[in-house]
A and B are shown apart, each in its own frame.
Chain A
């Protein structure tokens, strides 16, 4: 009689554990689907970048462990995509309030020929003085672009000037340096706030 009771209790515990496991798995799937951005699974470490930061220090992603990093690529002479992206990210930080202290925006140039450290710093400060730009030689920028799958191409203007077509997504990196999500261009600040809160809560 006692043996049967023990067996039943073990079976119940096993069943409860199974239920718990299933519910945790379901929660994980639900969490992934909560993002407004595209989500990468399994989560892998974001590729490291080695550039010069506009804050005067060497720029690596490892510097920002413990913060959520929003990484994007662009250039200061961009007339359309970059100003919208940067204004959106600045708006998202404002909406986050004090939590914005745990969010770092990193903007890497795709135009190292024109974007000097000083030029990029001045440009980013118009949107948010906490934004850090990444500059470097053409070879260094190429390495950073390649590791994040960023394409860019020069489009010549009539007067010898040029503009650059480039990938415009924003990479969302968690506090541990994992590349979690990618927000395609065009999402409003509220979508960033939503996803950043999810990342900050982890």
Chain B
């Protein structure tokens, strides 16, 4: 009976692995949105060392390869290649896997890194992407 349970568990684990490696990856949107909230500049000016955006953003080609930044603050904010006026959004697509360094006034360090990973086309890459994606989701839930 115990052996049967182990075999069943193994079959389920293998089926899960096969699904993770071979099932096509699907996302609802290729955009990865971030917001610079209202009052960010004022908080910083009052001495609050607030980091609104993560120091590193990870994107994946073909899945979430479009960075969408919204400036909800009352002052212009510089995000790497551009300046965003209050209320403006900046939608930046990526087509090459690489590490990009950008200046960003929304960071206390003034710097932001965007890592763009290649599209996960091999089974192993898909498994890795699904695992990281699930891990990130758990992290998001914990911080909420």
Q: Which residues of A contact B (CB under 8 A)?
A: 32-33, 35-36, 38-42, 44, 147-149, 151, 167, 169, 171, 182-185
Interface residue? B11 (CB, 8 A): no
Additional A-B contacts beyond A32-B91, A151-B103, A169-B80 (13; CB < 8 A)? A38-B82, A38-B91, A39-B91, A39-B92, A40-B82, A40-B90, A42-B87, A148-B83, A149-B82, A169-B81, A183-B81, A184-B81, A185-B81
A147 to B78, CA, bound (A): 10
What residues on A are CB-neighbors of B83 within 8 Å? 147-149
Q: How many residues of B contact A (CB 8 A)?
A: 19
A-B CB proximity, top 7 nearest: A149-B83, A38-B92, A169-B81, A149-B78, A182-B82, A184-B81, A182-B81
What residues on A are CB-neighbors of B89 within 8 Å? 40-41
A169 to B82, CA, bound (A): 7
Interface residue? B54 (CB, 8 A): no
What residues on A are CB-neighbors of B91 within 8 Å? 32-33, 38-39, 41
Q: Which of B76, B87, B93 contacts A149 (CB 8 A)?
A: B76
Interface residue? B136 (CB, 8 A): no
What residues on A are CB-neighbors of B66 within 8 Å? 33
Closest residue of B by beta carbon distance from A186:
B96
Q: Are B95 and A38 in contact (CB under 8 A)?
A: no
Closest residue of B by beta carbon distance from A39:
B91
| Interface residue ranges of B80-124 to A (CB < 8 Å) | 80-85, 87-93, 95, 100, 103
Q: Are A42 and B88 in contact (CB under 8 A)?
A: yes
What residues on A are CB-neighbors of B78 within 8 Å? 149, 151
A148 to B103, CA, bound (A): 13
A155 to B16, CA, bound (A): 55
What residues on B are CB-neighbors of A183 within 8 Å? 81
Closest residue of A by beta carbon distance from B98:
A186
Q: Are B90 and A38 in contact (CB under 8 A)?
A: yes
